[in-house]
Amino acid sequence: MTYRVCFVCTGNICRSPMAESVFRARVAEAGLDDRVEVDSAGTDGWHEGEGADPRTVTVLRENGYGTGHTARQFDPSWYARLDLVIALDSGHLRALRRLAPTERDADKVRLLRSYDPAAGDDPDVPDPYYGGADGFDACLEMVEAASTGLLAAVREQVEGRAA
């Protein structure tokens, strides 16, 4: 049975596609790509059908990650097939929990940085869209740091299903 994870930011062109790409690579490195499906979306549809922001693509390429992506808007009907919905900041967390059709679905939503013990009191991955390239580098660092803990949590769930 496939375990499904969807990363969500605002427009699905910066943070969530970056997180999707990094986590997909981590899943593959762990040998779980046949059991874990990774996806992303935005809370809003402003960029639907577009590729990732060119600065996201650049940072991903420079760091050896895949870059294929088409933006889309999160649909509440997806909760039925998703196991985990990863919000990139607290605003997305609130929006996604409001969209959840049931309390069980709302419980599937988690903040990405909650998987990074070093995040401390700063649970959000800031939106780099209105800044320079350094914001995209910082975003990637946060995503990579949190992906280690997220992978451990997902591995535990996947292995628990197999037992």
Dump the DSSP string for 116-130.
Answer: -GGGTT-------TT
Closest CA to 93 of 78, 71, 112: 112
User: What is the reported pTM?
Assistant: 0.97
Q: Give residue 163's pLDDT band: very low, low, confident or very high (50, 70, 90).
A: low
| CA–CA dist 73, 118 (Å, integer) | 30
Residue 84: its H or E element: strand 84-87
The set of catalytic residues is 9, 15, 127
Domain spans in the chain, listed from the N-terminal domain onward: 3-161
pLDDT number for residue 161: 78
Considering the four listed CATH numbers 3.40.50.10490, 3.40.50.2300, 3.30.43.10, 1.10.390.10, the one that applies to the domain covering 3-161 is 3.40.50.2300
Q: What is the dihedral of CA 46, 52, 58, 59, to 10 degrees?
A: 90
pLDDT in tens, 119-155: 999 999 999 999 999 999 999 999 999 999 999 999 9
